[in-house]
Amino acid sequence: MTTDGANANDRMRTDLAFRCEQCGHRWYYTRGRCPDCGEEEVTTDELGVGELLASTRVDVTPEDVRSPNRLGLVAFDDVQVIAQLDGEGVSVGDRVTFSGEHTLREGDEQTHPRLTPVATAE
Ligand SMILES: [Zn+2]
């Protein structure tokens, strides 16, 4: 795996997309090569601002996961991400970022981003 464009620290970040140097395909989740063309030269890419496509609320969750647990499906251009969603009034079509440092499960040592509405500047 080459790391020219995506250094090891960026590969550990969970708030970034990856982009193929060869064909331009973008995806989420760390992979050793492009899922479309097999190219190993990949760079990281900011997700930016996305649009909420769908959301759901899970009331029965494992002991160490918040309840209720809202989840959102968001399109960041051609990349879709499903993750925990913050913001009570957020609805389909709203603009969100994938950011922040949140504990998704009690006891986790690592923090992760959540889907957060852009407009909620409180
Ligand atoms: Zn590719």
Question: Which string of DSSP letters, residue by residue, matches 47-111?
Answer: ---EEEEEEEEE-S--TTB-SSEEEEEEEETTEEEEEEB--TT--TT-EEEEEEEE-SBTT-SS-
Kindly state whether residues 98 and 39 are assigned to the same domain: no
Cα-to-centroid distance, 73 and ligand 1 (Å): 24
Look at the chain and report how many structural domains it folds into. Answer: 2
Kindly state whether residues 57 and 13 are assigned to the same domain: no
C-alpha closest to that of 51 among 18, 97, 2, 7 = 97
Kindly state whether residues 42 and 60 are assigned to the same domain: no
Cα-to-centroid distance, 24 and ligand 1 (Å): 6
Cα-to-centroid distance, 82 and ligand 1 (Å): 22
Q: Which runs of consecutive H residues, i.e. helices, occur in 16-110?
A: none
Q: What is the mean pLDDT of each run of 10 residues along the chain (122 residues)?
A: 59 85 92 93 92 96 94 96 91 94 87 85 50
Asked if the structure places residue 105 within a domain, the reply is yes
Kindly state whether residues 55 and 19 are assigned to the same domain: no
Cα-to-centroid distance, 68 and ligand 1 (Å): 38
Per-residue model confidence (pLDDT) at position 108:
85
Per-residue model confidence (pLDDT) at position 104:
84
Cα-to-centroid distance, 106 and ligand 1 (Å): 37
What does the alpha-carbon distance between residue 114 and residue 69 come to, in Å, rounded to a whole number? 12
Kindly state whether residues 35 and 21 are assigned to the same domain: yes
Asked if the structure places residue 122 within a domain, the reply is no
Cα-to-centroid distance, 43 and ligand 1 (Å): 11
Q: Write the single-letter amino acid at 28.
A: Y
Instruction: Give me the domain span that covers residue 55.
Output: 50-117
Per-residue model confidence (pLDDT) at position 106:
87
What does the alpha-carbon distance between residue 58 and residue 17 come to, in Å, rounded to a whole number? 26
Asked if the structure places residue 41 within a domain, the reply is yes
Kindly state whether residues 59 and 113 are assigned to the same domain: yes
Per-residue model confidence (pLDDT) at position 109:
87
Per-residue model confidence (pLDDT) at position 11:
67
Per-residue model confidence (pLDDT) at position 2:
45
